[in-house]
């Protein structure tokens, strides 16, 4: 009986040992599987002791990241010591911040930027505490992953929002001026109509009505510009291309403004070395470019000056120049005038209004056509604005440009609203 009992006990003992062994190999194989997964994860993984932050282990991805960062800065990996700061390259002391987060029973997260072979990449690292039996922190597990795509699109959005804010701030200021002029003119009309008979104040009413009309055109111009800038910011500014004779388009717009230019005691002359040059362009947008450049030439010219519009056929491209004999632009300002809201003289002694948006839109339109624009100038001698358009055509698109004078008059009134009393 005793023996049997003994045998039984030994047997049980043996079975228990066998079970423990099985359990151990089971756990070990699970651990090995887990380790293999972690090793090959597309995430950086590392474990550190706490609170010393000494490296316990790390996976391939963490090593690869470190290797890429170091080799791109010319460091030899064999000489790199693996410690907390370089294993997941955090670039600055964040241990105190991690400890602080852990004290608050939180994890710690931060995004770091690296330059790997000239490319900007962003990694987010999360530091998570591991707790022992007594609820004390025994280890720190860190994982890091590539957030370049998300970070870049977030930065792009932040930039777009900043531009949007800038536009609102500038534009609301721009809108206020014509609006308050309209309001005052309207109040004056009221006063006249209350105090005098219609016949007595008829002239004044017409005068104020004209002021209102001109400022409505100015508002239209500003709003058109804002719409285009917003469209461009959201990627919705699209050209309506057709194959057209660019010489006709430019000549017609010059002819349409000739009378307006004369009213300002200026002369406009058109010249071309080619009669026909068919290129793919958006005629409405090219007319806007021309009106903007001509209205600037008028604004910054002195009486009796000359404005020359010139076309040169350069085979693979067409070159259009708008040249004036006006005040000119100092060299130091030349590179900036195509920037939005840039004005050389923001003071009120300018001889016309303006918002500093015109040239940035002109540049945008020309670049959308695949062309480029630049300016040459000498103070007190005048300025030349030169743009080039590629002489390419699009398939299956017949000419559809119609020289519609009525549409053009409205367009001129809008684009010239800063300089003309209508
Ligand atoms: P604005 O509405 O102020 O005219 P633009 O973007 O059209 O805005 O022009 C920006 C600035 O470039 C102008 O304020 C002016 O200082 C300068 N500029 C543009 N065209 C000329 C020109 N033909 N002669 C002199 N200065 C010019």
Q: pLDDT tens digits for the chain (422 residues)?
A: 555 777 777 777 777 777 777 766 766 777 678 778 878 888 999 999 999 999 998 888 888 888 888 777 776 666 667 788 877 777 678 999 999 999 998 999 999 998 888 899 999 999 999 988 888 899 999 999 999 999 999 998 998 888 778 777 777 777 888 899 999 999 999 999 999 998 999 999 999 999 999 899 989 988 888 888 878 877 889 999 999 999 999 999 999 999 999 999 999 999 999 999 999 999 999 999 999 999 999 999 999 999 999 999 999 999 999 999 999 999 988 988 898 766 666 554 344 556 667 898 999 999 999 999 999 999 999 999 999 999 999 987 666 777 777 778 888 888 888 886 64
How many angstroms does the Cα of residue 254 sit away from the middle of ligand 1?
19
- Any atom of ligand 1 within 6 Å of the Cβ of 329: yes
Measuring from atom 12 of ligand 1, which residue has the nearest CA?
A: 337
- Looking at 234-299, list the stretches that DSSP marks H as alpha helix, in order from N- to C-terminal side: 246-263, 283-299
How many angstroms does the Cα of residue 337 sit away from the middle of ligand 1?
7
For residue 286, the model assigns a pLDDT of 96
Half-sphere exposure of 267 (CA within 13 A, CB side): 4
Reduce the DSSP state of residue 75 to 3 states and report it.
coil
Asked if residue 62 lies in contact with residue 87, where contact means CB atoms within 8 angstroms, the answer is yes
What is the C-alpha separation between 38 and 34, in angstroms, rounded?
6
- Any atom of ligand 1 within 6 Å of the Cβ of 343: yes
How many angstroms does the Cα of residue 247 sit away from the middle of ligand 1?
25
- Any atom of ligand 1 within 6 Å of the Cβ of 344: yes
How many angstroms does the Cα of residue 293 sit away from the middle of ligand 1?
9
Asked if residue 277 lies in contact with residue 391, where contact means CB atoms within 8 angstroms, the answer is yes
Q: Ligand 1, from 221, 268, 295, 337: best to mutate by most atoms within 8 Å of Cβ?
A: 337
Q: Match 């002369």 to its residue by tokens.
A: 267
For residue 350, the model assigns a pLDDT of 44
Measuring from atom 13 of ligand 1, which residue has the nearest CA?
A: 343
- Any atom of ligand 1 within 6 Å of the Cβ of 289: no
3-class SS shares of the chain: helix, strand, coil, % to 5? 50, 20, 30
Measuring from atom 23 of ligand 1, which residue has the nearest CA?
A: 297
- Any atom of ligand 1 within 6 Å of the Cβ of 300: yes
Measuring from atom 11 of ligand 1, which residue has the nearest CA?
A: 343
- Any atom of ligand 1 within 6 Å of the Cβ of 321: no
Reduce the DSSP state of residue 377 to 3 states and report it.
strand
**Strands 372-378 and 55-58, how do they pair?**
unpaired
- Any atom of ligand 1 within 6 Å of the Cβ of 383: yes
How many angstroms does the Cα of residue 83 sit away from the middle of ligand 1?
58
What is the C-alpha separation between 289 and 13, in angstroms, rounded?
95
Q: Ligand 1, from 173, 296, 382: best to mutate by most atoms within 8 Å of Cβ?
A: 296
For residue 82, the model assigns a pLDDT of 77
What is the C-alpha separation between 231 and 225, in angstroms, rounded?
10
For residue 326, the ligand 1 atom closest to its alpha carbon is 24
- Any atom of ligand 1 within 6 Å of the Cβ of 295: no
How many angstroms does the Cα of residue 235 sit away from the middle of ligand 1?
26
* Residue 301 burial (10 A CB sphere; 0-12, 13-18, 19+): buried
Asked if residue 217 lies in contact with residue 413, where contact means CB atoms within 8 angstroms, the answer is yes
How many angstroms does the Cα of residue 203 sit away from the middle of ligand 1?
35
For residue 407, the model assigns a pLDDT of 78
Within 10 angstroms of residue 102's Cβ, the number of other Cβ atoms is: 19
For residue 349, the model assigns a pLDDT of 37
For residue 127, the model assigns a pLDDT of 94
Reduce the DSSP state of residue 243 to 3 states and report it.
strand
What is the C-alpha separation between 79 and 67, in angstroms, rounded?
11
CA nearest neighbour of 419 among 119, 214, 150: 214
Measuring from atom 8 of ligand 1, which residue has the nearest CA?
A: 356
């Amino acid at each position: 009986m005793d023996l049997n009992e003994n045998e039984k006990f030994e047997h049980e003992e043996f079975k228990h040992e066998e079970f423990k062994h099985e359990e151990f190999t089971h756990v070990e194989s699970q651990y090995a599987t887990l380790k293999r997964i972690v090793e090959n994860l597309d995430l950086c993984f590392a474990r550190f002791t706490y609170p010393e932050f000494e490296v316990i282990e790390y996976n391939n991805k963490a090593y690869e990241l470190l290797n890429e960062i170091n080799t791109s800065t010319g460091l030899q990996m064999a000489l790199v010591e693996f410690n907390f700061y370089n294993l997941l390259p955090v670039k600055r002391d964040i241990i105190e911040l991690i400890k602080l987060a852990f004290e608050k029973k939180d994890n710690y997260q931060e995004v770091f930027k690296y330059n790997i072979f000239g490319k900007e990449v962003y990694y987010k690292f999360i530091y998570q505490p591991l707790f022992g039996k007594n609820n004390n922190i025994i280890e720190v597990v860190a994982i890091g992953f590539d957030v370049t795509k998300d970070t870049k699109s977030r930065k792009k959005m932040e930039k777009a929002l900043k531009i949007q804010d800038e536009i609102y701030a500038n534009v609301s200021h721009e809108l206020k001026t014509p609006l308050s002029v309209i309001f005052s003119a309207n109040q004056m009309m009221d006063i006249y109509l209350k105090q005098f008979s219609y016949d007595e104040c008829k002239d004044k009413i017409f005068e104020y009505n004209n002021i209102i009309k001109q400022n409505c055109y100015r508002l239209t111009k500003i709003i058109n510009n804002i719409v285009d800038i917003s469209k461009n910011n959201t990627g919705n500014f699209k050209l309506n291309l057709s194959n057209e004779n660019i010489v006709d388009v430019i000549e017609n717009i010059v002819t349409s403004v000739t009378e307006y230019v004369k009213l300002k005691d200026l002369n406009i002359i058109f010249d071309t070395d080619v009669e026909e040059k068919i290129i793919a362009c958006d005629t409405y947008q090219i007319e806007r470019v021309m009106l903007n450049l001509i209205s600037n030439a008028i604004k910054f010219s002195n009486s009796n000056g000359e404005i020359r519009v010139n076309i040169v056929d350069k085979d693979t491209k067409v070159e259009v120049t708008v040249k004036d004999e006006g005040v000119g632009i100092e060299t130091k300002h030349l590179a900036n005038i195509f920037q939005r809201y840039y004005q050389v003289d923001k003071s009120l002694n300018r001889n016309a209004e303006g918002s500093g948006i015109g040239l940035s839109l002109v540049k945008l339109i020309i670049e959308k056509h695949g062309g480029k624009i630049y300016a040459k100038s000498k103070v007190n001698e005048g300025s030349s604005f030169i743009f080039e358009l590629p002489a390419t055509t699009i398939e299956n698109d017949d000419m559809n440009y119609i020289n519609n004078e009525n549409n053009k008059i409205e367009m001129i009134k809008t684009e010239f609203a800063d300089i003309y009393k209508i």
